């Protein structure tokens, strides 16, 4: 084995290990956070509706970005809640504020995703169900 292929193999192992850590984190969030599970089901539902309505490429990009933002905010919220609980195991007003603000970020993202859903799906759903 050459030095270059050994380095490539090592890089691949490190990369795969990193993906494993990320998958473990995603699994933790889905196992422990009810809202993350709700958001994941909502995302799957939005994808199913997008397939049914035949979204175009730009619409798929907007939907994918919206889903990524909401789920990413949920992951960040969970990690911040864990870190704050670790740093401040006793009740503390600032710890509570940090957790509340992180939760608000998820709420803002979720409300924004509802608006995006109305723009993407609304006209097509109206046409499907109410057009003559």
Look at residue 132 and tell me whether its pLDDT is greater than 80.
no
pLDDT, mean of residues 91-97: 97
Q: Identify the DSSP state of 2.
A: -
Span 42-68, pLDDT tens digits: 999 999 999 999 999 999 999 999 999
pLDDT for res 67 = 99
pLDDT for res 77 = 99
39, 59, 74, 81: the active-site residue: 74
Domain ranges of the chain: 1-32, 33-130
Please provide the CATH number assigned to the domain covering 33-130: 1.10.287.3610
Q: Identify the DSSP state of 54.
A: T
pLDDT for res 8 = 79
pTM of the prediction? 0.89
* 81 noted as active-site residue: no
Span 24-44, pLDDT tens digits: 999 999 999 999 999 999 999
Residue 121 and residue 49 in contact, taking contact as beta carbons nearer than 8 Å: yes
pLDDT for res 4 = 65
pLDDT for res 5 = 75
Computed over every residue of the chain, the mean pLDDT equals: 95
CA distances from residue 128 to 53, 93, 119, 120, 124 in whole angstroms, order as listed: 9, 50, 15, 14, 6
């Amino acid at each position: 084995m050459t030095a270059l292929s050994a380095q490539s193999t090592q890089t691949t192992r490190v990369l795969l290990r990193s993906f494993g850590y990320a998958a473990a984190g995603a699994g933790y969030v889905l196992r422990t956070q009810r809202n993350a599970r709700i958001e994941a089901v909502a995302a799957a539902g939005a994808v199913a509706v997008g397939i049914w309505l035949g979204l175009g490429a730009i619409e798929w990009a907007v939907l994918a970005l919206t889903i990524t933002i909401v789920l990413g905010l949920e992951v960040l919220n969970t990690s911040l809640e864990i870190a704050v609980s670790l740093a401040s195991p006793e009740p503390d007003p600032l710890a509570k504020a940090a957790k509340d603000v992180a939760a608000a970020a998820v709420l803002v993202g979720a409300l924004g995703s509802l608006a995006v859903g109305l723009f993407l799906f609304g006209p097509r759903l109206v046409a499907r169900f109410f057009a003559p």
